[in-house]
A = this chain, B = another copy of it.
Amino acid sequence: MSATAEQPAFDLADPAAYSFFQRENVRFSDTDMVGHVNNVAHVALVEAGRLAFAFDAAERAGVETGLVTFVRLEIDFRDDLYYPAAVRIGARVLRVGNSSFTVGIGVFDGDRCVSTSVNVLVHLGDDRRPAPLPDAMRSALERSRLGQP
């Protein structure tokens, strides 16, 4: 059932796979005693990109983001990231399910990929239980998945 069991539809580590990017600065407080950006801070960057992508997709589609909960993260730490840096966080839908969808994210320092991740989100109804994706939201997610603007 995990998204890793399937072949991803695009290469998460290739910046050319993404049309949406969020730019974020690495902060000094993101580093740790190893000298690089801490793994936890990598996850903060992924979250920043994931939410910017969600708000952008909702706005472009003219839909509400609705109540969406984040249920699973798979992240591969591919290379060290150092302070200072301004990274680009690419995001694109990997899979659209019935009530859930999956966003692939690559974080890039220049063209160097420092992490890739698979982010699983679930749409909730008013009773806060998983509910089918509304049509407009599903269409917007599908367009992202197909790499359409």
Contacts and interface: CB of A to CB of B under 8 A. Distances in A.
Interface of A: 2, 4-5, 23-25, 27-29, 31-36, 38-41, 43-45, 47-48, 51-52, 55, 69-77, 83-84
Nearest to A31: B33
Contact of A74 (B33, B43, B72): B72
Identical copies in the complex: 4
B55 A84 contact: yes
Given A28-B47, A29-B32, A33-B83, 9 more contacts: A5-B5, A27-B44, A27-B47, A28-B38, A29-B41, A39-B43, A40-B40, A40-B43, A72-B77
Q: For the complex, would chain A's binding face be called helix, strand, loop or mixed by DSSP majority?
A: mixed
A83 B48 CA distance: 11
Contact of A48 (B27, B34, B48): B27
Contacts of A36: 33
5 contacts: A2-B74, A33-B34, A33-B35, A40-B44, A71-B77
